[in-house]
Structure 1
Amino acid sequence: MMKKLLIAAAAVLVGSSCERIIPFDAEQVDPVLVLYADINPSQSLKAHLSRTVGILDEGEPQRIADAVVWAEDSLGNVLDTLRSDGNPDGFYYSPIKPAAAQKVTIKAEWGGLPEVQGSAKGFALGGTFSMDSIGYNPGNGMFGMPYVLMRVTLQDDGVPGIYRLEFYEDIADTTWGQYPIYSDSEDPLVLQPAFGGDFGDRIDFDNALFLGQTRSIEVKVFKWVSETPTKLKISKLDEATVKYERSLQAAQNGGGPFTQPVPIFSNVVGGIGLVGGRGHRWIRE
């Protein structure tokens, strides 16, 4: 059996400009393509493509700007070709916004490497969502930060997924929050071990316990000035996206050089990476 070797891949989260070098445990040293894409009805299609590089090789992982990248529907019909904007950053774009619940497959081919592909469905978040301030705690001294107690109500559409709550100072009337606010919740949904999680800058919870129902959750939103307006970005993610994020976090927070590398979750066929489904909307008080 061929000895496992460590391969580094340039993993670019499509929703941000942050690039990370991630260890992948592979059975062969041959390079493969690394594909990342988000299927989100609220945004135009965007993908990133790179190539793995051996951990002992010189140079950084190769971002690919001259590949053929395209999107297909569930019947194999081509929806559009994603095109590079000419920059050597490996990003590809299409003006098409995928329909909610529509299965979209992103495919890519380059050079003599195997073709890669991954599929996902975006979320609509078409129900009724609200956020209301129901209390304020001024804190209890130097290390007791004051917080506004918010009640967030979600009308679930019955489609399985993981909700994410992210709070921002609503300083400018823009769709992108510039000042994230830390939050906390002791709701049982957040404390469940599988897909629940309180990460400070975001709160995650699975909708399995209230599928197709309306559910309220109380959240502490830590603010020094309670009168400033708050807005909430509420997202719904598929299981593959959350598994990828959790495995990436575990790998980055791993032990020293003698610990076993943590495998990064991948749902890309023919290579590695993630094609994930999500949707989001903004809520104000």
Structure 2
Amino acid sequence: MIPAQFDYVAPATVQEALALLAEHGDDAKVLAGGQSLLPVLRMRLNAPGVIVDISGISELRSITDEGDAIRIGAASTYQDVLDSALVKEHLTLLHQAVSEVADPQIRHRGTVCGALAHADPAGDVGAPVLALDARMVISGPGGERTVPAAEFFVDIFETAIGDGELLTSVVIPKHTGWGSHYEKFVRVSHQWAIVGVAAAVRSEGGTIAEARVGLTNMGSRPLRASAVEQALTGQPATEAAVAAICARAGEGTDPPSDLNGQADYRRHVAGVLTRRAVLAAAGGAG
């Protein structure tokens, strides 16, 4: 289908973008990579009067070292993340998850922050960002504020970004030396995850000292398997020690039931994938 008619503006700065959002209110939509917005427009599921394209704002297309964290700007594409030596060294889990996103065409257009703002629970970046204790930087009429990832995702397609506000970057603490693995279950290549598990493990002498586990498409937002993380701490990094713990990853979740699988099937798959991801991460730790 052809989208409804709209006006297109491309601000050069964040302040210009915020001024446009303030001027047009609910009639404006933000475009970064457009890989989620454009299909919505083509299907006429939304018909904004103004598209505010932030992809040309140079200050937002950067990946920088903040000392103990890495900052990824809102206009940085998936491919920028994959090409970044900083991300590969210090945020290996995110690097692995982004490599599973769709295909090269989409990875060269889509953005990490765009996916976070879209908040599709089947998206590949929410779970690793949540597991890595990221902080979302949101700019608005009242200035800049920072929201922890645990508070950012509210519901399906709903986040802590308020009216007239803009997600300008995500700041993720370094996990240098941690082992990590993103396990994604799909039936067809490049499909949205039926279930995904993002695991990061810090090992000491063959024992799991810390574990981080995020779940993809196991509820209306990305989830953290906190009980599994706590139970894994202090366990030897062996299949015998972690299998029963990881099998409980789906407990307390509310995954969808659809043509790809019922909720109880997804809970079972989550346990299997968590075991695989944790063992793979533990094998690469240090």
Structure 1 or 2: larger helix share? 2
Q: Does TM-score exceed 0.5, indicating one fold?
A: no
TM-score, structure 2 as length reference: 0.22
TM-score, structure 1 as length reference: 0.22
Structure 1 or 2: larger strand share? 1
Structure with max Cα Rg: 1
Q: Which structure ranks higher in relative contact order (CA pairs < 8 Å, sequence separation ≥ 6)?
A: 1
